[in-house]
């Protein structure tokens, strides 16, 4: 198969969010799709002790020929996909740079200290401004609400993969997702995942969610 060209090698993608949001699965599906096209992909995952509720971050490194390390060096992210908005800010502080692009699911998951009233969760406008101010391009999608309309909030991760495909920064397609879902998941999951992917892809196509500075 003819390998698509990368805009940069290695292309460094970070998928971040909170434990329980399907972050790890999203990174594996994405990487599986790219490996099937002949790329060398390394995914390093960082998650805390808790099964849920902690910050989770997957470093996805995509290259034509080289196995890169499972940790992206500081300041070297090309694109950040975040399933929880403030996690993008946390990630940008370590891995961001002026050229980075950010795709954000706007649904908050409040940290325990926020629920307890010891810390403040930023307002949507503050989050938008912070992410936009730290990136070259930023898109905001309420993927969790869309996923709930599809019947399951966990599908937000696949909506985000669809939106990522819509950005055309990486060679991701509906057929690619179909193949990898068949390889990694049970058959009954296929339809819902494709629906979610299409929804995310369509959002980017219409460009309704770009904040005005998108490409």
Among 3, 7, 93, 208, binds other proteins (CB under 8 A): 93
CA within 13 Å, CB half, 20: 10
- Determine the straight-line distance between the first and last CA of the chain, rounded to whole angstroms: 29
DSSP string, the chain: -PPPPPSSSSEEEEEEEETTSSHHHHHHHHHHHHHTTT-EEEEEEEE-SSSSSSEEEEEEEEESS----SSPPTT--SEEEESSHHHHHHHHHHH--TT-EEEEE------HHHHTTSS-PPPHHHHHHHHHHTSSEEEEE-HHHHHHHHT-GGGHHHHHHHHHHHHTSS---HHHHHHHHHHHS-GGGHHHHHHHHHHHHHHHHHTTTB-S---
71 near other proteins (CB under 8 A): yes
Shortest distance (Å) from residue 125 CB to other proteins: 11
Give the side-chain half-sphere CA count within 13 A for 10. 25
- Asked if 148 touches other proteins (CB under 8 A), the answer is yes
Q: Which is nearer to other proteins, 71 or 207 (CB)?
A: 71
In the complex with other proteins, the residue whose CB is nearer, 29 or 204, is 29
161 counts as binding other proteins under rule CB under 8 A:
no
> Which of 22, 23, 55, 102 touches other proteins by CB under 8 A?
55
Residue 171 Cβ vs other proteins, minimum distance, rounded to whole Å: 15
Single out the residue of 15, 18, 80, 204 in contact with other proteins (rule: CB under 8 A): 18
The answer to whether residue 121 forms part of the interface with other proteins (CB under 8 A) is yes
Size of the site for other proteins (CB under 8 A): 63
- The reply to whether 124 sits near other proteins by the rule CB under 8 A is no
- Check residue 78 for interaction with other proteins (CB under 8 A): no
Which residue in the set 3, 7, 73, 215 belongs to the binding site for other proteins (CB under 8 A)? Answer: 73
The footprint of other proteins (CB under 8 A) covers 18, 20, 28, 31-32, 35, 40-55, 67-71, 73-76, 86-87, 89-90, 92-93, 96-98, 107, 109-117, 119-122, 126-127, 130, 133-134, 144, 148, 153, 183
């Amino acid at each position: 198969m003819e390998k698509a060209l990368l805009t940069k090698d290695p292309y460094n993608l970070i998928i971040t969010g909170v434990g329980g949001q399907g972050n790890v699965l999203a990174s594996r599906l994405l990487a599986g799709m790219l490996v099937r096209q002949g790329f060398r992909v390394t995914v390093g995952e960082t998650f805390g002790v808790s099964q849920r509720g902690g910050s989770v971050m997957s470093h996805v490194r995509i290259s034509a020929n080289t196995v890169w390390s499972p940790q992206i060096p500081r300041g070297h992210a090309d694109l950040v996909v975040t399933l929880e908005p403030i996690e993008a800010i946390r990630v940008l502080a370590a891995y961001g740079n002026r050229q980075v692009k950010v795709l954000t699911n706007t649904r908050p998951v409040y940290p325990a200290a926020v629920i307890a009233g010891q810390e403040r969760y930023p307002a949507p406008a503050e989050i938008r401004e912070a992410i936009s101010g730290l990136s070259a391009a930023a898109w905001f999608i309420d993927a969790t609400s869309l996923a709930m309309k599809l019947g399951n909030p966990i599908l937000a991760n696949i909506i985000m993969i669809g939106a990522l495909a819509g950005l055309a920064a990486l060679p991701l397609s509906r057929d690619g997702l179909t193949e990898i879902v068949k390889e990694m998941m049970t058959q009954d999951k296929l339809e819902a995942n494709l629906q979610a992917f299409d929804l995310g892809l369509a959002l980017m196509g219409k460009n309704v969610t770009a904040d005005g500075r998108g490409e």
